[in-house]
Structure 1
Amino acid sequence: MHPVGRRRRGSELEEALLDAAWQELKDNGYAGFTLEAVAARAGTSRPVLARRWASKHELLRAAVRQAHSRTVLPVPDTGSLRGDIIEMLREFNADRVDFATVLGVQLGGYYQETGSSLADLRDVIISGHDSTLEQVLQRAVDRGEADPAKLTPRIRTLPFDLFRQHILMTLTPMPEDAMEQIVDEIFLPLVTP
């Protein structure tokens, strides 16, 4: 809530609305995600939301995009592909488990209603952004640790796909030994020259 008597405007208001929308998704899922509920949580009115987002789907996508942007992870540079990928998985474990859980568990109704999927929403989130993973993989290619011909789109994301699978199936962080097994036993053998 904002201080009494002080009216929020511009980017401050938009940020507060998107924060309220994200919190509504986290607390009540898509079933409870209405413009009225978000407006009440933000301490404003439904028309204020409707002037910015034409539908609750647009509001949802904007809220997810903002929540994702708040957890921008640094590009690791441990000096090795193994170290960088494990460090990325550790960062995801520390900062993104709740985010991934909301996307995977709380938004089932959204995916069904819109005919979209988690992959479609992921594309909305990362469109136009230089991927941390791409930077890590390019450095590994430059160091001779990874064969660019073996870095197919599916192989590039394999450690993170397995990470997401763990999160969505258990709703818990991934153990350190499991991260190391994914990298050492699955990923590195597939990409090493």
Structure 2
Amino acid sequence: MTGEAKARRRGTALEAAILDAVWDELDASGYAGLTIENVAARARTGKQVIYRRWPRRADLVLAALRYRYPSIADDVPDTGSLRGDVLAVLRRMAQRFGEFGPDLVHGLMAEAHELDPGTFEVIPDAMSVILRRAADRGEVAPGAVSPRLARMPADLVRHEMLLTDRPVPDEVLTEIVDELFLPLVRARRRNQREEKAPHA
């Protein structure tokens, strides 16, 4: 390889070659069969180059996901209502999981303990935006929805996906929003109003 060719493979060009190689290796071997060595061979680079940037397999695969798919938190739906926004995010999430496939989802979840805790904050970040908009519209009081409640819809979708190994049907997403999430949000709002109301 000439010096000019090496220069072309540095920086973003080399990173793109590595992350494209990850997808080729996933297609060929699945998550369980993916190795740093094989990715390096496909990308025609040294494995130490990969290890310096992504020390674990899960880190590398997660980088490949971010390279191919835009983050949901970067374009949060704005339908004009809390229900519509949450449902839109869950639909995107379910679609994304379907695109990833159960092999990749299970593989990453099995190694989730190796990843940075902030890795799984994409949906909570999107929910923070949604809840802030809902508060501006007067649908919820600012800070009324706890972080655990805000994470619940996405957690239930993730559980459904891992449990069934199939894309989550739209009726299940609607049920999560209409029968679980929104009633709890409304109950918290009622409780807050009752606590603030003057006692007789």
Q: 2:31·2:103 contact (CA, 8 Å) conserved in 1?
A: no
Structure 1 stretches of at least 4 aligned residues deviating more than 6 Å after TM superposition? none
Question: 1:108-135 deviations in whole A, cap 9, x for unaligned?
Answer: 6645xxxx26xx55623648x9922211
The 2-side partners of 1:174 and 1:109 are apart by 20
Q: Which amino acid aligns with 1:67?
A: L
- Alignment-derived partner of residue 155 in structure 2: 161
- Alignment-derived partner of residue 71 in structure 1: 70
Q: 2:87·2:173 contact (CA, 8 Å) conserved in 1?
A: yes
- Alignment-derived partner of residue 141 in structure 1: 135
The 1-side partners of 2:110 and 2:17 are apart by 24
The 2-side partners of 1:23 and 1:121 are apart by 25
Q: How many residues are treated as equivalent by the alignment?
A: 179
| RCO comparison, higher one (Cα < 8 Å, 6+) | 1
The 1-side partners of 2:24 and 2:121 are apart by 21
Q: 1:102: how far off?
A: 4.8
Q: Between the two proteins, what is the percent identity of the paired residues?
A: 39
Q: 1:100·1:167 contact (CA, 8 Å) conserved in 2?
A: no
The 1-side partners of 2:27 and 2:58 are apart by 11
> Looking at CA atoms only, which structure, 1 or 2, has the larger radius of gyration?
2
- Alignment-derived partner of residue 33 in structure 2: 32
- Alignment-derived partner of residue 53 in structure 1: 53
- Alignment-derived partner of residue 22 in structure 2: 21
Q: 1:71·1:95 contact (CA, 8 Å) conserved in 2?
A: no
Gap change, CA 1:12 and 1:94, over 3 Å in 2: same
- The two structures, once aligned, show a CA RMSD in angstroms of 3.1
Q: 1:26·1:106 contact (CA, 8 Å) conserved in 2?
A: no
Give the alignment's TM-score, normalised by structure 1.
0.75
Question: 1:81-103 deviations in whole A, cap 9, x for unaligned?
Answer: 00111111111222333447355
Q: Which has the larger helix fraction? A: 2
Q: 1:167·1:173 contact (CA, 8 Å) conserved in 2?
A: yes
Question: 1:138-172 deviations in whole A, cap 9, x for unaligned?
Answer: 11122121244541111001111111111111222
The 1-side partners of 2:143 and 2:33 are apart by 46
Q: 1:29·1:107 contact (CA, 8 Å) conserved in 2?
A: no
Gap change, CA 1:110 and 1:83, over 3 Å in 2: closer
Partner SS state of residue 150, structure 2:
helix
Alignment of 1:1-193 (within 5 A): 7-25=8-26, 27-50=28-51, 52-53=52-53, 55=55, 57=56, 60-68=58-66, 70-73=69-72, 74-99=75-100, 101-102=102-103, 104-107=105-108, 110=111, 116=113, 120-121=115-116, 123-124=118-119, 126=121, 131-192=125-186, 193=189
- Structure 2 segments unaligned to the other structure (5+ residues): 190-200
- Structure 1 segments unaligned to the other structure (5+ residues): none
Give the alignment's TM-score, normalised by structure 2.
0.73
Gap change, CA 1:24 and 1:78, over 3 Å in 2: same
